[in-house]
Amino acid sequence: MYREFVRKFPGYSFNSYMRLRGFRRTSNRPLVSDSNRHRKPNPLPWFQLSIVLLLQTCEPITSQSISPYINQLISELDVTGGDERKVGYYAGLIESLFFAVQALTILQWSRLSDHVGRKPILLLGLLGSSASMLCFGLSRTFWSLVLSRCLCGLLNGNIGVMKSIMGDLTDPTNRAEGFALLPMMWAFGATVGPLVGGTLSKPQQRFPRYFEGGFWKNYPYFLPSFVTSCFVLFVFTIAFLFLNETIPNSWPCHNSPEEELSLHSTGNPTPLRRLLTYPVILSISNYMVLAFLGISFYALLPLFLAMPVELGGLGFSPPLIGSIIGSYGAITGLFQALCFAKIVRCLGERFIFLIGMCSFLPAYMALPIMSVYAQRVGVTIMVWVIIGIVLVLMALTEMSYACVFMYITASAPSKRSLGAINGLSQTTVSFARAVGPVLSTSLFSLSLEQNILGGYAVYVILFIFSGLALLLAAQLPGEMWEEHDDEIIRL
């Protein structure tokens, strides 16, 4: 078979043949030499890229804006029966619902983007985010909060489609620079979101001169939701007017009697069954584990900061929590902007990914250390020093996202299948992100209620998970997967 393939297509390598036939690699030896790392990068399409990066800020702003006040909101709804130790159960559920519903739909949205184009799906997702935030701000019961988060997850498939359009706009020579900007913009959104949520919640108490009347008393969290909704609508307008479609001939055409295998954007989307190759499975698995550990920490951190000192937390207020989480976003954004691309070109994607994964270990253990210290000595300057160290560690973990995005993009059998690949990855990641918040916050509450390991069992469990994740990360090859030219091969 291989001799016949070479006779028909003399310009293709054995790796191409193996990938086309659906074989999977069973070793860690790199597919090809990573010479692209040392080539001069091609210019990035900055105008279109800027619009995509603006889109990238929407999800962290909408998701992180509720972090500073969600625990207080749950307490005020009286679903916990006055027991603050149970807040973690309900807060984790609210944060997980978006990802749980998104996991059920994102693959369909992403595969649809391979057919109808990226732009229509992105625009619909923005409208869904805007509407759901308004609903969230107007919610006065726990179940109305549940419905608003489900609506957001149902209509929003943008996170996978944005990575697909980034793959469309970049090539192996400039992908490090391009994908480094995604976590940077996420960090920007993760900075603005908590600041908006923490500063604008309960405006009648904080700014009584400007927010009088019964409406602001009855809906104390509507203002941050309204502001984020308006921002999303602004981004929708920009994308509608100026974003170009990156998938030519987006509407599906009829297949010929012969089987077609697309190697780039000019053919039909690759069937889903052909996507489950070794590079795809390994890359997606690492992304899933990274997302689980990351979202678990981000859900645990505001709960830890909000809980009273006697219950294992630090007893901080929502505005202070918003400032801390916002500082993390600022640190991450600056680091990504100034250092990431240079570090990746010097040390390689695999090494940077491993560094980021290792950073979870000390980050998780820093929380019980702060708790013990605060209970014995109080919230002194030492606690703030440890908080600063944790923020730096989490900035290192953010580098892993850009690295694994590049692995996933390079693992795609074709650019025409990028939507399906990213949809598949975001489906698994959304399941992980649905489990992470409710698991970590519920473990927090369970550890306190049952006094398991002195109330610190949650940190031990997540520390063990972090160690196991390193074993999977070590399986990634030191060099990137092979990518193919724009062509259709008929076998």
Q: What is the pLDDT of residues 86-135, one digit of tens each?
A: 776 777 777 777 777 877 887 778 778 777 888 888 898 899 889 989 99
Question: Taking the CA atoms of the chain, what radius of gyration do you get in angstroms?
Answer: 23
The whole-number average pLDDT for the span 341-350 is: 80
Most confident of 28-32, 72-76, 375-379, 478-482: 375-379
361 C-beta neighbours (distance < 10 Å), count: 18
Q: How confident is the model at residue 303 (pLDDT cuts 50, 70, 90)?
A: confident
- What distance in Å separates the CA atoms of residue 403 and residue 408, rounded to the nearest whole number? 9
For residue 350, the Cα-to-chain-centroid distance in whole angstroms is 19
CATH fold label, 46-247+261-490: Growth Hormone; Chain: A; (1.20.1250)
Please give the pLDDT value at position 272.
Answer: 65
Residue 11 has pLDDT above 70, yes or no: no
Is 0.75 topped by the overall pTM?
A: no
Q: What is the pLDDT of residues 193-203, one digit of tens each?
A: 888 888 888 88
Considering only residues 81 and 111, tell me which one the structure prediction assigns the higher pLDDT: 111
45 has a pLDDT exceeding 90 = no
Torsion of CA 97, 100, 105, 110, to 10 degrees: 100
pLDDT in tens, 236-292: 999 999 988 877 655 443 333 343 333 333 445 556 677 778 888 898 899 999 989
State the virtual CA torsion across 280, 281, 287, 293 in degrees, nearest 10.
180
pLDDT exceeding 90 applies to what percent of the chain? 16
Q: How confident is the model at residue 482 (pLDDT cuts 50, 70, 90)?
A: low
pLDDT score for 19: 46
What pLDDT is attached to residue 8?
46
Q: What is the mean pLDDT of the chain?
A: 77
Rounded Cα gap, residues 452 and 261, in angstroms: 54
- pLDDT band for position 416 (cuts 50, 70, 90): low
Q: Which residues, other chains included, contact 214 with Cβ-Cβ below 8 Å and sequence gap of 6+?
A: none
* pLDDT higher than threshold 80 for residue 174: no
Query: In 336-482, which ranges are continuous DSSP H helix?
Result: 341-347, 349-358, 360-376, 381-411, 418-450, 457-473
Taking the C-alpha atoms of residue 171 and residue 480, their distance in angstroms, rounded to an integer, is 13
Dihedral pair phi/psi, residue 260, rounded to 5°? -110, 135
Q: What angle, rounded to 10 degrees, do the helices at 118-137 and 158-169 form?
A: 150
The pLDDT value recorded for residue 481 is 63
* Secondary structure (3-state) at 246: coil
Q: Name the nearest CA neighbour of 59 among 404, 429, 443, 462.
A: 429
Residue with more model confidence, 35 or 290: 290
Residue 155 has pLDDT above 80, yes or no: no
| pLDDT at res. 32 | 38
